[in-house]
Amino acid sequence: MSAVLDLLRAHAPMVALALLFGGAAVALMTPHGRTSWALALIAMAAAAAVAADMGWRLLTGGGALDTGALLAIDGVAAFSAPLIAVLMFLAVLAGGSTLADKPKRAQPYVVALHLAVATGWVGALFARDLIGIVVSVHAAWLATAALVAVSAHRGALNGALRMVMSGGAGAAFMLLGAALVIYATGSSAVAGAADAMISAPMMATLGFVLLIAPLLLMAGAAPLHAWAGPAYGRSDAGLVLAVASISALAVITRLAAVAATTTAPGLADGVAAALVCAGVASVLIGSLQAVGAVNVRRLVAYAGAAQAGCVLVAIALESPAGLAAALVQLLAWGVGAFALLAGIAASRDTTLAALDGLGRRAPLAGIAITIGALSFMGAPLTLGFLGRWRLIEAGVGAGWWWATGAAIITSLAAVFYGGRLIERLYFRRATEASNFDVDAWRLARAPVMVAAIMAVACGVAPAWMLNLAQRAAMLALGLTT
Amino acid sequence: MSPELALAALLGAPLLQALLVLALSRPPGLRDLVHVMGSGAVAALAGYLVHAVSQGASPRIVLANPLPNVELAFSAEPLGTLAAAVVGGLGFLHAIHTSGMVRAIDQKAPARLMAFSALTTAAAMAVMFSANLFSFFVAYQALALAAFPLVAHVGDDEARTSARLFLAMLLGASIALLLPAMIWTYTLSGTLEFQVGGVLAGRIDLLSANALLVLFVLGIAAAAAPPMHRWLTMSFTAPYPALVKVQALAVLPAGGVGLLKVFAYVFGPALIAEETGRQILAAQILLGLCGVIMCAAAVIALSKTDIRERLAYSLWAQALAAIIGGLLAAPAGLFAAALQIVATSCAATTLLMAVGTTAAVTGRNNVADYPGLGRVMPWTFAGFAIACASIIGMPPFSGAWSKLWLITASASTGVIWAAGLVGVAAVLTFAHLGPLAANAFAGRAPTDAFKRPDGASILLVAPVILGAAATLGLLVLADPLASFLSPVWTPR
C-alpha cells in the first residue's frame, strides 16, 4: 500500500491530470446529473489533494517528482496548481445548487465541462514545452467558453462567441509566437529560454510577446478584455463566472511561469517592457471601468483586470521578490474574486441594486462580499493587503517607485467600488431587484465562507504562505533547486 | 490584573459590548444597561492603564505577525494612554446620554447605533494604543469602516452622500498617502515601530523629510488638516449620538493622536532642519496653512446657522490648533497639542451632548432659536456655556491652558506669527460661540420651549453636567499631565 502511495506521489502531476480527465469522462458518461456532480466532486477533491501534496513537497524540499517527457513542474506551478484545484473544487461544490436549472440531459455535460476546464488549466501549468501550453490553454479556454454558453440568457452566447473568436485568434498568435521562440532559442521547452544562447533576440522577444498577448486576453487584462463584459454580465450564475475567474488566474499563472524563463540577456528587457505596458494599461482601464460599472458581475470582471495589471507589473520585475509578490497577488485575486462572485450568486439579478439589503437577508453572502471587496481594496489583515505590500516592497527594492502608483490606483478605485458594494449590502433597503436566490445559495454557503476565511486567515498569519511564495519564485527563476 | 491583560481587555471590551448590544437589543432597558456598563468597563480599564503607565509600566501585546519584522502590536505609552482615558471616561457619559437620546427622539435602529458606536470606540482605542505604523494603519482603517455606518445612520440621501464622502476621504487618503509614507519610512529606517526620539531621526535627508511629512499630515485625514477636512464638516448630518462619537470622541481625537504619534515617534528631531535649527520647510508651510485655515474655519462657523454645522467648523479650527502644536516640533508644542486634543475632546463632547439634549427636548437646531433657552434648561446650558468657554480658550477653563502653551511654544520656537494666529482664532471662536452662550441666558425665555411636556430626562442632563465638570477638572491637571506626558519626548 505504502509502495503504491509512494509511486502515485512520485508521479503526482500525471495522477492529478488523470484524476481530472478521468473524472470528466466519468461525469460525462453518468446519465444522472446529481450522481455526475458527486463523482466530479470526488475527482476534484482527489486532484486537489494530490496537487496540494505535490506543491507542499516541492516547495519545502520534501521529495523528487518523475514528470516524464511531457510535463515539468516549476515553482510557479507548484504554488498555483493546488490553489487552482482547490478553488475549482469549491466552484464545482457551489455550482451543484444551480445544476437543477439546466435541462436534465445537459447536467452531466455541464459537470464534465467544469472538470475539462480544470484539466486544461492544470495541464497548461504542468506542460513542459510551448506547444503543450498552447494546446492545454486552448482546450481549457474552449471549455470555459462552452460553460458560459450554456447560460440561460442569450446575451451570454454573445460573450461565449467573443471568447471563442478571440481564443481562435489567440491560438494563431500563440502558435506563431511559439514557432518564433523555438526558432530563436533552439528549444521548445519553456525553461529553455532561461539559459539559451539566443541567436535572434528581437525575434525571441516578439515570439514571447505573441505568446503572452493571448494569455493577457484570456486573463481579462484591459484593454484586451472585450469578451469579459458580456460573458460576466450575462451568464446566469455567478458560480460559472467563478470558474471563468479561476481560469483567468490560471492564465496569469502560466504567464508568470513563462515570463520567469525570459531572463536571458537580450530578452528580459523587451518582455519586461511589454508586461509593464500591459500591466499599467490594465490597472488604469480596469479601475476606471470598475468604478463606472452598474452590473455587479461586470464590476468584478473589470476589478479583476485591475488586479491582473498589478500582477503583471510584479511579474515584469523579473526578480524573486517581484515573482513572489505576483504569486501572493494571484492568490489574493483568486480568493477575493471567488468570494465576491459566489457571494453575489445569492441574488438572481446582476444589477448593483440587487445587492440592496442583501447583508440582512443573506448575512453570510454579505460577509463574503464584504471580505472580497476589502481584499480588493487592499485593506490590512486581508490577502489583498499582503499582495499590495509585497508589490510595493519589490518595486521600491528595484527602484520602480512608480509601481507604488499602480498599486495605489488599484486600491483607490477599489475603495470606490468596494465601498459602494458594502453600502448597498448594509445601508439600503431591499428592492424588487434584490431577489434572494435560496436555491443558488444553498450549496454555495460553505465554499464562499471557505474563500472568505482564507482571505482573512492568510492575511492575519501569512508567514507560511509568504515563505512558500518566496521559495516558489526562487525555484521558478532557477535560483535554488 | 496585569497591565498587559488590562490593555487586551480594553481593546476587546468594546467589541464584546457591540456583540452584546446587538444580541440583547430587547428589552431596551437591558440593551441600554449593557451599553452603559460596557462603556463603564472601558473607562475603568483606561483609568487603570493610566495608573499603571504613571508607575512606569509599558505593557505591550502582539496579536499577529502579518509581515516579516512587522507586528500587529499595541502598547500603552503616555500619549495614547492619556487620550484613551479621556475618551473612555467621556465615552461612559456619552453612553448614558445615548440611552437618553434614543428614547427621547425615538431613534431608528438604536441597537445598531450603539453597536457601531462601541466598534468605533474599539478602533479609536486601537489607534491610540498602536505600537507601530502598521498597527496604526490597520486600526485607522478599521476606525473609518466602523464610523461609516454612524455617519450613514439616518439613511436618507444626504446621510448617504456624507457617509460616502467620509469613507472615501478617510480610506482614500490613507491608501493614497499614508500607505506610501509608511512604506517609505520602512525603506528608510527598516522598522515601523514607534520610538521615542523618532525612527527617522538621523536617517533621512531634508527632501525626503519634507515629502514624508506632507504625506503623513494629509494621509491621516482624520486629523482634518486642509484640504482633507470635508468629512468633518459634512458629517453633521449624523444623529447626535453618532455626531459626538465622530467629532468629539473617536475619529477626530484619534486622528489628532495619530498625527502626534507620527510627529513624536516617527520624525522626532527630523522635523528640524540641522542647518537652520528651524522647522523643515514643509512643516513651516503646513503651519502657515493650518494657522490661516484655522482662522478661516472660525469665520465660516460664524456664518452657519445650523448649530451642528457651526460646531463642526468650530471643532475643525480646534483640530488645526492641535496640528499646529505638533508641527512646532518642540516638547512644549507637543504638550500643547496633546492638551488641546484632551481639552477639545472634553469640551466638544459636553457641547454636542448639550446641543443634542436641546434638540431632543425642544426640537431646535438653529442658532437663532437658542436665545432664552438657558432660562428653561439651566443645567444643560450651564454645561453648554462652560464647554463654549473652554473651546474659546477663556481663562480659567481648560482650553485656555492648551492655547497658552501653544502660544508659548510658538514664541519659543521662533514662530511668533503662529502665536498671533492662535490668538486671532480664539477671538473668532469667541465671536461664533460666545454670544450664543450669553444669549441663551440673557434672552427672554420662550413660552413654547419644550416639545415634550416632561422636559429633559436625567439621562440627558446629567452627562452634560458631568462633562462640564470634567472640563473644569482639567483646569487643575495641567502640571500632572505635563509630568505624565514627559516620556513622550524624553526617554525614561
Chain A contact set for B22 (CB, 8 A): none
Q: Measure B29 CA to nearest chain A CA, in Å.
A: 24
pLDDT tops 80 at residue A265: no
Q: Measure A381 CA to nearest chain B CA, in Å.
A: 7
Substitution target in A385, A402, A429 with the highest count of B β-carbons within 10 Å is: A385
Residue A63's SS3 state is: coil
Peptide bond into B253 cis (omega under 30): no
Q: What is the pLDDT of residue B190?
A: 85
Chain B contact set for A420 (CB, 8 A): 164
Q: Are the C-beta atoms of A419 and A343 separated by less than 8 Å? A: no
**Rounded average pLDDT over A420-434:** 77
Q: Are the C-beta atoms of A42 and A22 separated by less than 8 Å? A: no
DSSP symbol at A189: B
Burial class (CB in 10 A: 0-12, 13-18, 19+), A104: exposed
Own/partner contacts of A277-281, CB < 8 Å, gap of 24 or more, are: A278/A212, A278/A216, A278/A221, A278/A309, A278/A312, A279/A221, A279/A308, A279/A309, A279/A310, A279/A311, A279/A312, A279/A313, A279/A315, A279/A316, A279/A406, A280/A309, A280/A313, A280/A406, A281/A222, A281/A223, A281/A309
Q: Measure A418 CA to nearest chain B CA, in Å.
A: 10
**Rounded average pLDDT over A47-55:** 90
Q: What is the pLDDT of residue B454?
A: 64
Cell numbers at A105, concatenated: 440531459
Measured between CB atoms, does B190 come within 8 Å of chain A?
Answer: no
Lowest mean pLDDT among A231-245, B193-207, B266-280: A231-245
Measured between CB atoms, does B151 come within 8 Å of chain A?
Answer: no
The ipTM (two decimal places) reads: 0.76
pLDDT tops 70 at residue A266: no
Amino acid letter, residue B55? Q
pLDDT tops 80 at residue A478: no
Please name the residue of chain A whose CA is at the shortest distance from the CA of residue B68: A463
CB contact under 8 A, B168 and A460: no
What distance in Å separates the CA atoms of residue B131 and residue A390, rounded to the nearest whole number? 22
Q: What is the pLDDT of residue B389?
A: 92
Q: What is the pLDDT of residue A371?
A: 92
CB contact under 8 A, A427 and B149: yes
**How does residue B444 score in pLDDT terms, banded at 50, 70 and 90?**
confident
The enclosing H or E element of A168 equals helix A154-185
Q: What is the pLDDT of residue A273?
A: 84
Mean pLDDT score of chain B, rounded to an integer? Answer: 90
CB contact under 8 A, A415 and B175: yes
Percentage of chain B beyond pLDDT 70 is 98
**How does residue B474 score in pLDDT terms, banded at 50, 70 and 90?**
confident
Chain B contact set for A461 (CB, 8 A): 64-66
What distance in Å separates the CA atoms of residue B220 and residue B130, rounded to the nearest whole number? 14
Q: What is the pLDDT of residue B313?
A: 95
Measured between CB atoms, does A392 come within 8 Å of chain B?
Answer: yes
Q: Indicate the pTM of the whole model.
A: 0.85
CB contact under 8 A, A463 and B134: no
pLDDT in tens, A317-334: 888 888 899 889 888 988
pLDDT tops 90 at residue B325: yes
Q: What is the pLDDT of residue B76?
A: 93
Chain A contact set for B65 (CB, 8 A): 461, 463
CB contact under 8 A, B164 and A423: yes
Q: What is the pLDDT of residue A459?
A: 85
Measured between CB atoms, does A363 come within 8 Å of chain B?
Answer: no
Residue A263's SS3 state is: coil
Peptide bond into B68 cis (omega under 30): no
Measured between CB atoms, does A68 come within 8 Å of chain B?
Answer: no
Q: Measure A435 CA to nearest chain B CA, in Å.
A: 21
Cell numbers at A468, concatenated: 512558500
**How does residue A62 score in pLDDT terms, banded at 50, 70 and 90?**
low
Lowest mean pLDDT among A337-351, A359-373, B125-139: A337-351
Measured between CB atoms, does B152 come within 8 Å of chain A?
Answer: yes
Measured between CB atoms, does B171 come within 8 Å of chain A?
Answer: yes
Q: What is the pLDDT of residue A7?
A: 82
**Other Cβ atoms closer than 10 A to B191:** 14
Q: Measure A462 CA to nearest chain B CA, in Å.
A: 6
**How does residue A242 score in pLDDT terms, banded at 50, 70 and 90?**
low
**Look-up of cell digits 489533494:** A49
Choice between A64 and B443, residue whose per-residue pLDDT is larger: B443
Amino acid letter, residue B354? A
Cell numbers at A191, concatenated: 525553461
Measured between CB atoms, does B427 come within 8 Å of chain A?
Answer: no
Burial class (CB in 10 A: 0-12, 13-18, 19+), B453: exposed
Chain A contact set for B152 (CB, 8 A): 423, 427
Please name the residue of chain B whose CA is at the shortest distance from the CA of residue A381: B66
H helix intervals, B105-250: 110-129, 133-151, 157-173, 179-189, 206-219, 230-234, 240-244
Choice between B192 and A187, residue whose per-residue pLDDT is larger: B192
**Rounded average pLDDT over A365-374:** 90
Measured between CB atoms, does A393 come within 8 Å of chain B?
Answer: yes
Comparing CB atoms, the residue among A380, A392, A463 nearest residue B137 is A380
**How does residue A18 score in pLDDT terms, banded at 50, 70 and 90?**
very high
A71, β-bridge pairs? A127
Q: Measure A420 CA to nearest chain B CA, in Å.
A: 8
Peptide bond into B226 cis (omega under 30): no
Q: What is the pLDDT of residue B151?
A: 92
Q: Measure B108 CA to nearest chain A CA, in Å.
A: 13
Chain B contact set for A396 (CB, 8 A): 183-184, 187
**Other Cβ atoms closer than 10 A to A479:** 11
Q: What is the pLDDT of residue A22?
A: 92
What distance in Å separates the CA atoms of residue A300 and residue B477, rounded to the nearest whole number? 55
B70, β-bridge pairs? B67
What distance in Å separates the CA atoms of residue A253 and residue A182, rounded to the nearest whole number? 21
Q: Measure A461 CA to nearest chain B CA, in Å.
A: 6
CB contact under 8 A, B175 and A459: no
**Rounded average pLDDT over B243-264:** 94
**How does residue A434 score in pLDDT terms, banded at 50, 70 and 90?**
low
CB contact under 8 A, A423 and B171: no
Chain A contact set for B64 (CB, 8 A): 381, 460-461
What distance in Å separates the CA atoms of residue A231 and residue B186, rounded to the nearest whole number? 43
Chain A contact set for B182 (CB, 8 A): none
Radius of gyration of chain B (CA): 21
Please name the residue of chain B whose CA is at the shortest distance from the CA of residue A387: B67
**Rounded average pLDDT over B120-132:** 95
**How does residue A410 score in pLDDT terms, banded at 50, 70 and 90?**
confident
pLDDT in tens, B170-181: 999 998 899 989
Measured between CB atoms, does A391 come within 8 Å of chain B?
Answer: no
**Rounded average pLDDT over B322-332:** 91
What distance in Å separates the CA atoms of residue B260 and residue B138, rounded to the nearest whole number? 17
**Rounded average pLDDT over B286-294:** 94
At residue B279, φ and ψ (nearest 5 deg) are -60, 150
CB contact under 8 A, A416 and B138: no
**Rounded average pLDDT over B132-157:** 91
What distance in Å separates the CA atoms of residue B348 and residue B57, rounded to the nearest whole number? 31
CB contact under 8 A, B175 and A377: yes
Q: What is the pLDDT of residue B118?
A: 95
pLDDT tops 60 at residue B491: no
Measured between CB atoms, does B167 come within 8 Å of chain A?
Answer: yes
Chain A contact set for B167 (CB, 8 A): 415, 419
Substitution target in B130, B179, B185 with the highest count of A β-carbons within 10 Å is: B179
Comparing CB atoms, the residue among B72, B149, B175 nearest residue A411 is B175
**Beta carbon pairs, A and B, within 8 Å:** 73
Amino acid letter, residue A296? V
Percentage of chain A beyond pLDDT 70 is 89
Q: What is the pLDDT of residue A65?
A: 65
CB contact under 8 A, B141 and A459: no
Cell numbers at B406, concatenated: 501653544
A347, β-bridge pairs? A436
**How does residue A19 score in pLDDT terms, banded at 50, 70 and 90?**
very high
**How does residue A78 score in pLDDT terms, banded at 50, 70 and 90?**
confident
Please work out, in degrees rounded to the nearest 5, the angle formed at the alpha carbon of residue A160 by the alpha carbons of A147 and A293. 100
Burial class (CB in 10 A: 0-12, 13-18, 19+), A351: middle
pLDDT tops 80 at residue A280: yes
Comparing CB atoms, the residue among A380, A415, A427 nearest residue B168 is A415
Q: Measure A380 CA to nearest chain B CA, in Å.
A: 5
pLDDT tops 90 at residue A95: no
CB contact under 8 A, A408 and B175: yes
Q: What is the pLDDT of residue B4?
A: 93
Amino acid letter, residue A104? K
Residue B66's SS3 state is: strand
Sign of the C-alpha dihedral, residues A381, A384, A385, A390? Answer: positive
Minimal CA–CA distance to B343: which of B433, B471, B252?
B471
Measured between CB atoms, does A377 come within 8 Å of chain B?
Answer: yes
CB contact under 8 A, A426 and B149: yes
Mean pLDDT score of chain A, rounded to an integer? Answer: 82
**Other Cβ atoms closer than 10 A to A64:** 9
Q: Measure B334 CA to nearest chain A CA, in Å.
A: 29
